[in-house]
Structure 1
């Protein structure tokens, strides 16, 4: 499995966020990498509230959190978000997160389709009874990353995990969508993989949490977001074609619906922020 990427795909205005928080990614222990893509750690100490916005990856996250506004440490399972995810950060806080590979959460909760948690955030104890306040405290309290990563490793090693070839299939299909821009239509993708559209949709609902069409859209919006945030000379019509859209208008529609502003307006806002 590949090592954690260093890009900021999915983060809306990453420069603004990274100027306010310490954000790091770390690899889990080798046996866990089959299903866990990376750990992500965030610490903040803010003089004024800040709202972070994320176009989430199509993945389930397990987080251990401490926020002085919320009281003691706690653990949470967050299913695939259906739209823009917004988190208001105030005062001091810390998050130690586990980002499962899309399709990789089900082996840890094999009795429940992953779509059950789509669009939801719930106390982790409802899914993993050992995810108590004491467990969260042990993970978020250490001051150094090495100790936090070791605590995350220990917690995941303590959980039952049932290997599942269908989870492996789902993970490989999602990775193909993420890496291959030629994957544009669900019907064509299903045919290429030797599956019916219905079987593909059922697999994604059970193991990923959203359908293949939503996964294709999410990764393409990530690419558009990255282009809008890092370049001032984007040819949106050409990019729309490269991402599989019928025309520029469809890309603009999806970008606006997901991020909240058209791509050109977003590019102007991010550029102005960077310039200031």
Structure 2
């Protein structure tokens, strides 16, 4: 493992920014994000990208926007030199109104934004900023610009899309929901209805979404520096034992918990 990815050392050459959408875009947009890096004089860095439930719209330099669908598995990206990306993370389930096809057609895919949006979504992203404060100013300006573009293409949020969006957010908000049957009961709908709804509007099945958000409990605790009893956490998240948790975590996030924990400054190596 590249030691530049351990103990928070990635922050020595990467800067991240997150911003909230305006009120009229909240039904569709989860947040805006920007990342920049400066690896001048260094070897390229192999960045691990965890899988995600959101659809993302991203811009690099003056290149046309790219839409990336939900991802079921981890991937990697090679960073070199200097660069910056600005992106829009749509709320899970809330991108379907922009499409003429089910979101499942975008799963694990990247397509030109022009193939989805008839409105021109051209956005020129500035080159890498000097520091976090400069990035925040520049990315904030990008957010204002992209909101104007999105408003020109904004569809109507229909009831099914809102239902899918709210179902995913319920999974995220209630860790005790560990089974699709429990989610169906909570929403007073059938399991098959949920499966169809998620395929159409989320692009991933409800079972996978539940697994992903339960594993996100781990990364959130790692980020917060919370001490973790791994055997107890496995039981808490609905796994038979720590070994099952480790296998699931590795399959989805690309590394076992013992290795992934090394990415965070305050975490000891799990046993």
The alignment's TM-score, normalised by the length of structure 1, stands at 0.83
With 180-189 and 18-27 compared, the bigger mean Cα shift is at 18-27
- Cα distance change on mapping 1:203 and 1:237 into 2, 3 Å: same
* Mapping of residues 108-257 of structure 1, within 5 Å: 108-109=98-99, 111-131=100-120, 135-137=122-124, 139-140=125-126, 144-228=138-222, 231=225, 233-257=227-251
Tell me how far apart the structure 2 counterparts of residues 192 and 269 of structure 1 sit (CA, whole Å).
36
Measured against aligned partners, the alpha-carbon deviations of 1:140-164 in whole angstroms (never above 9, x if no partner) come to 5797233211111111011041221
RMSD between aligned residues: 2.6
User: Shift of the alpha carbon at 1:236?
Assistant: 1.2
For the Cα contact (< 8 Å) 1:177–1:183, is it kept in 2? yes
Q: Say which SS state the counterpart of residue 63 (structure 2) adopts.
A: strand
Tell me how far apart the structure 2 counterparts of residues 64 and 44 of structure 1 sit (CA, whole Å).
15
The alignment's TM-score, normalised by the length of structure 2, stands at 0.85
In the alignment of these two chains, the number of paired residues is 255
For the Cα contact (< 8 Å) 1:57–1:219, is it kept in 2? no
Partner residue, 1:58: 53
User: Shift of the alpha carbon at 1:200?
Assistant: 0.2
Tell me how far apart the structure 1 counterparts of residues 24 and 206 of structure 2 sit (CA, whole Å).
28
Partner residue, 2:132: none
- Cα distance change on mapping 1:76 and 1:13 into 2, 3 Å: farther
Question: Following TM superposition, where does structure 1 have runs of at least 4 consecutive aligned residues deviating by more than 6 angstroms?
Answer: none
For the Cα contact (< 8 Å) 1:232–1:267, is it kept in 2? no
Measured against aligned partners, the alpha-carbon deviations of 1:144-201 in whole angstroms (never above 9, x if no partner) come to 2332111111110110412211111111111111111110011121122111111001
1:74 paired residue among 51, 64, 67: 64
